[in-house]
């Protein structure tokens, strides 16, 4: 392909020197009983910056997982997501780019790091495309959801707040729901990872009708609790559909969640784990939950204290639920 074709503004929209910056929040999927349907955005953002070059491919990666294992080729997830957006728009291959990323979302912990990368890539690509070629919001959701396999993380990353997602006739749909301002997420992030594919592989093919009925009721209650009745968060986050089956893969997380719930805190496994997310009613309860996490984790007799014979270090953060999802800004030299 000729250099002139690569730099054709009619094809790519943005000229050389254009920079697109995307700030993408973390997210938690499943949200207790809302398996593969409920997603909640978390105010912990990666910043991805892409600059259109005249030639080549450059990387400047910082923060979480930047030191190893992340490809510095077109196989980088952000670039794969960009290419998927270009494919959906019929725009051909990507132009030469510089990718800068500052990652603060933990990888492999159930906080939507891959969904955030996907959303960042698709939105950046859309900003580079000419106005006539850009994807609609629905097309953006479809591309992101297909890359992730489901929309329950990408939807809140795109939209902020709480989202209820479903699939119908091969297309994904997500409905945003406002979250009560008193709802505060507290995350306890352990220093070990659990692969999402492995965690999903622990789920049974079928469950009892009563189990499904209980979960359906609690998922419906959770939407109400998050939207306006945060005092109901503890019963609303009860789950029988996925967390009990995954406990064996993340015993410290399962123990921490159980101990917190025994103390009256609405704790759950974030996504596929192993992060423990506690949804609390107000700032004072958030401080109590954080203190309880530290107390439980420091108990050397507790399974929450060690993993495979090694002590577990927990990072505890009191976050917010952002009303806005991903933010995109475009600048030119």
Q: Note the pLDDT tens digit of each residue in 150-170.
A: 999 999 999 999 999 999 999
Q: Taking residues 264-275, report their average pLDDT.
A: 97
Same domain, 49 and 122: yes
| Residue 113 is assigned to a ligand binding site | yes
Task: Give SS3 for 37.
Answer: coil
Q: Taking residues 33-43, report their average pLDDT.
A: 97
The Cα 39–Cα 21 span in angstroms is 24
Question: What pLDDT was estimated at residue 4?
Answer: 42
Same domain, 215 and 79: no
Q: Which residues pair with 190 in a beta bridge?
A: 314
Cβ–Cβ < 8 Å for 213, 263 = no
Regarding pTM above 0.85, the answer is yes
Is residue 7's pLDDT more than 70? no
Q: Taking residues 188-199, report their average pLDDT.
A: 90
User: Distance from CA of residue 271 to its chain's centroid?
Assistant: 8
| Residue 110 is assigned to a ligand binding site | yes
Same domain, 84 and 213: no
Is residue 309's pLDDT more than 60? yes
Say which residue the tokens 């009708």 belong to.
209
Q: What tens digit of pLDDT does each residue of 239-248 get?
A: 999 999 999 9
Q: Taking residues 294-311, report their average pLDDT.
A: 91
| Residue 114 is assigned to a ligand binding site | yes
| Residue 270 is assigned to a ligand binding site | no
Same domain, 112 and 251: no
Residues 6+ apart with CB under 8 A from 71: none
Neighbours of 109 (CB within 10 A): 25
| Residue 331 is assigned to a ligand binding site | no
| pLDDT classification of 2: cutoffs 50, 70, 90 | very low
Is residue 40's pLDDT more than 70? yes
Question: What pLDDT was estimated at residue 11?
Answer: 57
Q: What tens digit of pLDDT does each residue of 135-154 get?
A: 999 999 999 999 999 999 99
Nearest Cα residue to 277 out of 25, 63, 26: 26
Same domain, 217 and 288: yes
Q: Taking residues 89-115, report their average pLDDT.
A: 96
| Residue 109 is assigned to a ligand binding site | yes
User: The domain that contains 198 carries what CATH number?
Assistant: 3.30.70.890
* Structure-block tokens of residue 165: 């997602």
* Structure-block tokens of residue 88: 């959906």
Does an H or E element contain 79, and which?
A: helix 77-89
| pLDDT classification of 194: cutoffs 50, 70, 90 | confident
Same domain, 140 and 194: no
Same domain, 66 and 114: yes
Burial classification of residue 317, based on how many CB atoms lie within 10 Å of its CB (0-12 exposed, 13-18 middle, 19 or more buried)? middle
| pLDDT classification of 220: cutoffs 50, 70, 90 | very high
DSSP per residue, 255-304:
HHHHHHHHTT-EEEE-TTSS-EEEEEESHHHHHHHHHHHHHHHT-TTSGG
Average pLDDT of the chain, as a whole number = 94
The Cα 161–Cα 321 span in angstroms is 6
Share of the chain above pLDDT 90, in %: 88
User: The domain that contains 49 carries what CATH number?
Assistant: 3.30.230.10
Question: What pLDDT was estimated at residue 166?
Answer: 97
Buried b (16+ CB within 10 A) or exposed e, 117-132: bbbbbbbbbbbbbeee
Same domain, 104 and 191: no
Say which residue the tokens 């690509």 belong to.
125
Report the range of poorest mean pLDDT among 10-14, 95-99, 221-225, 257-261. Answer: 10-14
Does an H or E element contain 12, and which?
A: helix 9-12
The Cα 27–Cα 39 span in angstroms is 7
Look at strands 306-307 and 276-281 and give their pairing. unpaired
| Residue 112 is assigned to a ligand binding site | yes
Note the residue count of the chain.
Answer: 333
| Residue 108 is assigned to a ligand binding site | yes
Domain containing 14: what range? Answer: 3-177+322-331
Number of structural domains the chain divides into: 2
* Structure-block tokens of residue 98: 């510089």
Same domain, 308 and 326: no
Question: What pLDDT was estimated at residue 18?
Answer: 98
Is residue 3's pLDDT more than 50? no
| Residue 116 is assigned to a ligand binding site | yes
């Amino acid at each position: 392909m000729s250099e002139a074709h690569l730099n054709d503004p009619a094809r790519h929209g943005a000229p050389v020197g254009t920079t697109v910056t995307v700030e993408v929040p973390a997210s938690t999927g499943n949200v207790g009983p809302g398996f593969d349907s409920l997603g909640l955005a978390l105010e912990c953002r990666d910043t991805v910056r892409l600059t259109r070059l005249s030639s080549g491919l450059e990387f400047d990666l910082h923060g979480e997982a930047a030191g190893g294992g992340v490809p510095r080729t077109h196989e980088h997830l952000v670039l794969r997501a960009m290419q998927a957006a270009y494919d959906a728009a019929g725009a051909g291959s990507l132009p030469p780019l510089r990718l800068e990323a500052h990652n603060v979302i933990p990888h492999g912990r159930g906080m939507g790091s891959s969904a955030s990368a996907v959303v960042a890539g698709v939105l950046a690509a859309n900003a580079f495309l000419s106005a006539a070629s850009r994807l609609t919001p629905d097309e953006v959701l479809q591309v992101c959801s297909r890359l992730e396999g489901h929309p329950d993380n990408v939807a809140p990353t795109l939209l902020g707040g709480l989202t209820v997602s479903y699939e119908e006739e091969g297309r994904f749909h997500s409905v945003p729901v406002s979250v009560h301002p008193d709802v505060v997420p507290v995350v306890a992030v352990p220093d070990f990872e659990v692969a999402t594919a492995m965690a999903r592989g622990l789920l049974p093919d079928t469950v009892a009708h009563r189990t499904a009925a209980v979960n359906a009721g609690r998922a419906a209650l959770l939407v109400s609790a998050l939207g306006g009745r945060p005092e109901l968060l503890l019963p609303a986050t009860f789950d029988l559909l996925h967390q009990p089956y995954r406990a064996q893969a993340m015993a410290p997380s399962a123990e921490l969640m159980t101990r917190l719930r025994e103390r009256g805190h609405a704790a759950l496994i974030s996504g596929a784990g192993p992060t423990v997310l506690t949804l609390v009613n107000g700032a004072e309860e958030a401080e109590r939950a954080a203190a309880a996490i530290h107390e439980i984790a420091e108990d050397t007799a507790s399974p929450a204290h060690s993993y495979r014979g090694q002590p577990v270090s927990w990072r505890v953060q009191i976050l917010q639920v952002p009303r806005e999802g991903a933010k995109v800004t475009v600048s030119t030299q």
